[in-house]
Amino acid sequence: MTNINLLPSEYKEKEKFRFSRFIIILFFSFLIMASIYLYYYLEIQIDSREQQLKVMKAELAAIEKIIKEVKDLEKDKKVIEDRIMVIQGLIDNQSRLSRILGEFSASILDEVWVDNISLSANQTFNFTANTYNNYLIAKYMVALKNNSTFDNIELAYVHKTNLREADDIETEIVNFKLSGIFIPKKVKP
């Protein structure tokens, strides 16, 4: 059997056009739906990235605050370490000065009264004292020279004065100044 199409040829073309029109409409509708889906998908992705960005900015602000606190703590630590070093230096100087005063007091004679002691950074010392006569000055200088912690003992000046007491008794007082070098002994820790 043979198929015979008795329809006019224009109708046949319309039928072909319908099918191609259906394919084209289907293609465009699919394209529109894909575009809408892509648009919403990208919109959701953008919103999610913006949320992540906000969270990261908040975390960054928190981290910057912590970094600032750490820097402040490091500055405070440096200041405290400097203060500790100053205090340690003062303690060391205090113990050094107490050793020096201990050495002076151990070497001093009963007949000598010290008025003023000064010690410079290069371990030189000066002091003024009073006694009864020149012989005691010489005796004290020899005692200092024989002590291993003192060196280069020199007499700077001697002044004699007479003091009158209530019973009209005159007493001769000799004021003198000595200088020298203090040699500290090694202290065992």
Residue 95 has pLDDT above 70, yes or no: no
- Residue at 104: amino acid letter: F
Q: pLDDT of 108-121, one tens digit each?
A: 777 888 888 887 77
Single pTM value for the model: 0.46
Locate the domains of the chain by residue range. 108-182
Task: Say if residue 98 is exposed, middle or buried (CB neighbours under 10 Å; 0-12, 13-18, 19+).
Answer: exposed
**Comparing C-alpha atoms, which of 139, 128, 140 is closest to residue 179?**
128
pLDDT band at 53 (very low <50, low <70, confident <90, very high): very high
Which CATH architecture best describes the domain 108-182? 2-Layer Sandwich (3.30)
Residue 91 has pLDDT above 80, yes or no: no
Q: pLDDT of 107-157, one tens digit each?
A: 777 788 888 888 777 778 888 888 888 888 888 888 888 888 888 888 888
